[in-house]
Amino acid sequence: MDKLIANLAGKFPELTESDVRLSVETIVNAMSAQLIRGGRIELRGFGTFRLNEQLPVIDSNSMAELSDLEQEVPMVIFKPGLVIRERINNISHYDHDSILKQLRYLNV
C-alpha cells in the first residue's frame, strides 16, 4: 500500500502524504468492511470483488490434520469488468513492449 500512497502523493502534490495515506486507508477499510459483511464491491468499468467461503486445499502431508481444516477459508474473488478485459485481450502475450506500455499507462 505504501507504493500506492507514494504514487498518489506524487500525482496530487497539493495533498500531504498523511492526507493521502488517510484517504487510502479509509477506502480500504470501508471495502474490507463491506466484504466482511457479505457485500459486494463494484468499481464501474474495472470489476467486482466479493468474498467467497471455500474449503482449504488438502494435500497428502496434511491428511492427519483434517480436524483443523474443517473451517472454511474466506477468499476475495475478483471478476474483471469490460474495460479491463478489453485491455488484457488487446495485449499480445508475446509483445513485451505493449505490456510495459500498458503498465506505465496504469501506473503500476
- pTM equals 0.61
**CA-based nearest residue to 38, from 56, 53, 25:** 53
Confidence at 31, pLDDT banded by 50, 70, 90 = very high
5-to-2, 11, 44, 64 alpha-carbon distances in Å:
5, 10, 22, 44
What is the structure's pLDDT at 21?
96
Give the 3-state secondary structure of residue 17: helix
| pLDDT (0 to 100) of residue 90 | 75
Residue 81 · residue 43 · CB < 8 Å: yes
Average pLDDT over every residue of 27-33: 94
